[in-house]
């Protein structure tokens, strides 16, 4: 990873960002569930070192886009490129080996395995090579998990499970982290904690984050850039600040504001 990404706040604002190749680029992607079209030709870019958020109502196709990037379901049309490689037709487990990690919707931790084993599963791609270091790192990020390493995943509270899902994704040392609704069903205080950690990962480690969220206010405040999705189409895009101030976004997603 280049050291130039250490100050992403400026790089995304300049028009120059568009000239070099984005880390992840989605072009004209259409995804179907059977005959039902879920994504109607989506274009989206995530540049290295950015936090990009995707907001939208329930059923807009946010999670579908995230899963499509991971090849499950496959895009029927369009291309997805990651670090210059076409990953549109790659099997999910091979995509995961390209240093992309995902914390999927609904956390999907392994409930009968201990926290420690869950983290081991996250590290299984690199054959536990840096396991001890990475374990220490996620334990510093999430001290709650450290207390509960021997506890079964299923006995954790919702917030702890979400932390575990993110920690598990981090164990593979990803360059690009995909997070699907990390704030789902969590108390505001925990949401704040999790968003702080995402910011820390981005600023300190230069990790690129693609964040799918319902919690538009927090997500847009955190993100460098954002996209708004409505029924399978990207309708708006811009910097986090621009979108926060956009009257349409305010009306649709921030009414009654989470301040």
What is d(CA 236, CA 227) in angstroms, rounded to the nearest whole number?
A: 6
Nearest Cα neighbor of 88 from 124, 42, 134, 123 is 42
Residues 152/111, Cβ–Cβ less than 8 Å: yes
- In the block, residue with structure tokens 């964040």: 211
- CB of residue 116 vs other proteins: minimum separation in angstroms? 6
DSSP state of 57: -
Nearest residue (CB) to other proteins, 132 versus 200? 132
Nearest residue (CB) to other proteins, 85 versus 108? 108
* Paired tokens of 162: 């979400």
- First and final C-alpha spacing in the chain: 36
Nearest residue (CB) to other proteins, 59 versus 106? 106
- CB of residue 163 vs other proteins: minimum separation in angstroms? 14
List all residues 6 or more positions away from 130 whose beta carbon is below 8 Å from its beta carbon.
Answer: 123, 173
Nearest residue (CB) to other proteins, 11 versus 64? 64
**SS3 of residue 2 by DSSP:** coil
How many C-beta atoms surround the C-beta of residue 120 within 10 A?
16
Binding site for other proteins (CB under 8 A): 70, 72, 91-94, 96-97, 101-102, 104, 108-114, 116-117, 120-122, 124-125, 127-128, 147-152, 155, 157, 168, 172
- CB of residue 220 vs other proteins: minimum separation in angstroms? 26
- In the block, residue with structure tokens 């210059």: 84
- CB of residue 105 vs other proteins: minimum separation in angstroms? 10
Nearest residue (CB) to other proteins, 6 versus 157? 157
- CB of residue 198 vs other proteins: minimum separation in angstroms? 18
Q: Phi then psi for 84, rounded to 5 degrees?
A: 85, 0
- CB of residue 20 vs other proteins: minimum separation in angstroms? 28
Nearest residue (CB) to other proteins, 81 versus 114? 114
What is d(CA 28, CA 178) in angstroms, rounded to the nearest whole number?
A: 20
């Amino acid at each position: 990873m280049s050291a130039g990404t250490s100050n992403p706040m400026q790089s995304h604002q300049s028009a120059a960002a568009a000239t070099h190749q984005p880390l992840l680029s989605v072009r004209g992607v259409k995804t179907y569930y059977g005959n039902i079209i879920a994504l109607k030709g989506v274009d989206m870019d995530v540049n290295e070192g950015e936090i990009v958020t995707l907001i939208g109502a329930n059923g807009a196709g946010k999670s579908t886009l995230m899963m499509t990037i991971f090849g499950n379901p496959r895009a029927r049309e369009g291309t997805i490129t990651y670090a210059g490689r076409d990953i549109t037709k790659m099997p999910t487990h091979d995509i995961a080996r390209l240093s992309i990690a995902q914390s999927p919707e609904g956390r999907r931790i392994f409930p009968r395995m201990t926290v420690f084993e869950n983290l081991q599963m996250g590290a299984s791609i690199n054959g536990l090579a840096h396991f001890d270091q990475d374990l220490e790192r996620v334990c510093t990020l999430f001290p709650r998990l450290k207390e509960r390493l021997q506890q079964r995943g299923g006995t954790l509270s919702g917030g702890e499970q979400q932390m575990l899902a993110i920690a598990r994704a981090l164990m593979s040392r990803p360059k690009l982290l995909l997070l699907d609704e990390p704030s789902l069903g969590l108390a505001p205080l925990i949401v704040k904690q999790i968003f702080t950690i995402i910011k820390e990962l981005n600023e300190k480690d230069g990790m690129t984050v693609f964040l799918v969220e319902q919690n538009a206010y927090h997500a847009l405040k955190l993100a460098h850039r954002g996209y708004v999705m409505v029924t399978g189409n990207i309708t708006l895009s811009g910097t986090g600040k621009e979108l926060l101030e956009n009257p349409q976004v305010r009306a649709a997603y921030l009414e009654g504001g989470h301040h």
